[in-house]
Amino acid sequence: MTPMGDDASQVRPRRANWSGTLILACLALGFTASAVKIEQVRIRSEQDRVNVLATADSESESRLEDLGRFLAEPQTRLIRLSRLDATASDAVIAWNPSLRRGYLLCDGLPPLDPSVDYELWVLHESDTPVRLAGISARAGKSAYPFQADGDIGTKDHLEITAGPREAGKAPILSADPVNPS
């Protein structure tokens, strides 16, 4: 007789229960794969953000180069504007009569309602105001390019209004007469 009893063939070796371990391993693998996918999406998002910032930086550099070239042109003249309103800052217009283009250089020009622009007016000898351009102010910006519909002479009076020119509405900036610097 064997110590196990009379029938040793009935004793079966014990099998390990692997099903619970396999389920836990599959769950861990699923969570790991999910975490990897989330990290890939985050990295792709950061790469897209870097590309957007690089493009914005390139555009800013390009605008600064354009402004630099514009200011360096021999026909460009600077026109100093006096502040007539407490909300406005001192300002300068860089004006090129041959291109009929200019820049309003004004730090801290308060933004208006999105549907309203600052308006640049010229008063020729007849004192009849002629609208030259509209300028949209944005927070954090200090150089505002514009294309003028007319010309600015050296004996003209310039005004900038916050919105359309109306009776009783005073300009916020003025140059009288236009004295180029």
Beta strands per DSSP E along the chain: 77-83, 91-96, 101-106, 118-123, 129-135, 143-147, 157-162, 173-175
Q: In what order do the strands lie in the sheet with 129-135?
A: 129-135, 118-123, 157-162, 173-175, 77-83, 91-96, 101-106, 143-147
Give me the residue spans of the domains in the chain: 18-72, 76-175
Q: What is the CATH number of domain 76-175?
A: 2.60.40
Confidence of residue 31 (pLDDT cuts 50, 70, 90): confident
Per cent of the chain over pLDDT 70 is 81
pLDDT, position 76 = 92
pLDDT digits (tens, 9 = 90+) for 118-175: 999 888 876 778 889 998 888 888 888 898 888 888 788 888 898 888 867 788 888 8
pLDDT digits (tens, 9 = 90+) for 160-175: 898 888 867 788 888 8
Sign of CA dihedral 173, 174, 180, 181: negative
